[in-house]
Amino acid sequence: NAGVTQTPKFRILKIGQSMTLQCAQDMNHNYMYWYRQDPGMGLKLIYYSVGAGITDKGEVPNGYNVSRSTTEDFPLRLELAAPSQTSVYFCASSPSAMEQFFGPGTRLTVL
Amino acid sequence: DQQVKQNSPSLSVQEGRISILNCDYTNSMFDYFLWYKKYPAEGPTFLISISSIKDKNEDGRFTVFLNKSAKHLSLHIVPSQPGDSAVYFCAASGGVTGGGNKLTFGTGTQLKVEL
């Protein structure tokens, strides 16, 4: 089991560019989540999904979009990147919405 | 509104002694609590959890205590080891109105275990 994988590990974007952060899990978990972590802060929920075809907003969804066409994949799309989106992004999956398994993170810088 | 609070951003403890990390919450709908550990450049990993029907849960060197009336939980690590040096996040989950599908995280406490 690879667990939760995220690509890329690092990325630098220019203001206004777009990109997709990839997340995949091979544990057949229904629940998947996207978080961002800013320096000195906790994890803030961006979007989550309770199953394929179902997504919902978290605490900080503005500037992001998600889709969940399969159980395994949960990509996060950034449109029109802004410096405020500079952060570390973590994807997680869970069988039960309780204990969540996290990927290694994507460090994104927007200049 | 920070519903889960970890008021100590850092804690330094000597090897072999007890580490006590604290967490307070404000949402009375939270009924399940977790602790995660995070090393630099890695994702958080699950450490231990507790349901609101219990007041204590142990797993080896790690014990979590829950005081529902005070809306307070703590993580005890005994004995502390240098490998325990990491950021510890407290997280909470609730029923339908408390966000049962989601976790709310605290801001974390950096634990440093010194030789």
> Taking the domains of chain B in order of start, what are their residue ranges?
4-97
Asked whether residue A87 is assigned to any structural domain, the reply reads yes
What does the pLDDT look like over A77-103, one tens digit per residue?
A: 998 999 999 999 999 999 987 789 999
Q: Can you give the pLDDT at residue B96?
A: 56
Interface test with B, best of A9, A36, A56, A99 (most B CBs within 10 A): A99
- Span B58-79, mean pLDDT? 98
Q: Does residue B10 sit at the A interface (CB-CB below 8 Å)? A: no
Cα distances (Å, whole numbers) of residue A14 to A6, B3, B99: 21, 34, 35
**What's the CATH architecture for B4-97?**
Sandwich (2.60)
Asked whether residue A15 is assigned to any structural domain, the reply reads yes
Confidence of residue A48 (pLDDT cuts 50, 70, 90): very high
- Span B23-50, mean pLDDT? 95
- Span B50-68, mean pLDDT? 96
Tally C-beta pairs within 8 A across A and B. Answer: 55
Confidence of residue B60 (pLDDT cuts 50, 70, 90): very high
Q: Does residue B46 sit at the A interface (CB-CB below 8 Å)? A: yes
Which one, of B44, B110, B83, B85, lies nearest residue A104 by Cα?
A: B44
- Span B47-64, mean pLDDT? 96
Domain count, chain A: 1
Q: Does residue B49 sit at the A interface (CB-CB below 8 Å)? A: yes
Express as a percent the part of chain B with pLDDT over 90.
Answer: 87
Q: Please report residues of A whose CB lies closer than 8 A to that of B43.
A: 4, 90, 92, 102-105
Q: What is the CATH number of the domain that holds A79?
A: 2.60.40.10
What does the pLDDT look like over A49-64, one tens digit per residue?
A: 999 999 999 999 999 9
Q: Please report residues of A whose CB lies closer than 8 A to that of B42.
A: 104-105
Is residue B2 predicted with pLDDT exceeding 90?
no
Confidence of residue B100 (pLDDT cuts 50, 70, 90): low
Q: Scanning every residue of chain A, which has its alpha carbon at the shortest distance from the alpha carbon of B48? A: A99
CA distance to partner chain A, nearest, from residue B45 (Å):
7
Asked whether residue A103 is assigned to any structural domain, the reply reads no
Asked whether residue A111 is assigned to any structural domain, the reply reads no
Asked whether the beta carbons of residue A42 and residue B34 sit closer than 8 angstroms, the reply is: no
Asked whether the beta carbons of residue B9 and residue A40 sit closer than 8 angstroms, the reply is: yes
Long-range contacts of B96-102 (CB under 8 A, 24+ apart): B97/B29, B98/B27, B98/B29, B98/B30, B98/B31, B99/B29, B100/A97, B101/A31, B101/A48, B101/A50, B101/A56, B101/A97, B102/A33, B102/A45, B102/A48, B102/A58, B102/A97
Asked whether residue A106 is assigned to any structural domain, the reply reads no
> Domain range spanning residue A65?
4-95
The tokens for B110 are: 């950096």
